Structure 1
């Protein structure tokens, strides 16, 4: 059992790497090496917007790739071997920041508020888990407030603190609900007045 949040990242990478290694031994026809080969260079066709322009090999032992393939496999309820190429494409085309787009896509395209939803890459600590911590490097504490380079590239440093933001969120939701009720009552009142006026006209005629 991991003792710290950073231990979780090491375990996540080790678990995925072990699964890939296991899959690559018996499935000789599948063959999943830990480094994805670079795709063949695409014909430069400016008329084809889908032509890939990123012939970069992908390291399948990085935390970002392991996070992407885990998110995809969990969402689609499949083994990671079914999501290897999708994770390759994501990291090749969008890099680590593509994890935020992937997270949003898996939420049906809705924007993800990382104050309430734990960041899949940094698990809510707000720092880039692939970089050394400020304590290890010895960064000045004042750098914490000036866009420090250790900030997580996926959630951009948003703290996962639902208990801190919950009261504010509940207040906002109550205001939205009150506005919706008031608007519904106004519409109902308008419908009643229109119906009453139409009934009066019908009676007169």
Structure 2
């Protein structure tokens, strides 16, 4: 009996000195806390390790792919605060932020291919140059580019383009010009999956 008690005590002492993975079912309450945070579309790869009396978490949260960097960062920070508030046993949380891909039918293989076979910065630079050429050569008297915001979803690029129009131009003419621009961009840049052209009312 004394030996058995000693073994149990020794075993517990060893566990306190080494890392121990936390079973997934024990992490479920933390997962539910994460999913209740506004702005979180999902979470995956939730892992926990216990080192002595400390619990360390690593999790990927999924956010709107069109969120700005600052908004996505704030969602991640709010997740951290909620975990610390509701699960005080957690010493530290490592949060990775991923864009939501569910509404786009692209494969993981496509995503890997663009990462391995191309430089995405060069791809985006080329696309932006293509867009500028289309507007300057075909729409210079109708629409002026104010800002191009690229989004990367798997192997495809989605563009948000903010344009200004002359004060003498009608909304109907703007819509026709924007539709023409979208078609020309998609035809000239096969790696662009979607184009969204937005009108800025401020012409400056």
TM-score after normalising by structure 1: 0.23
Could you say which structure has the higher strand fraction?
Answer: 2
TM-score after normalising by structure 2: 0.23
Could you say which structure has the higher helix fraction?
Answer: 1
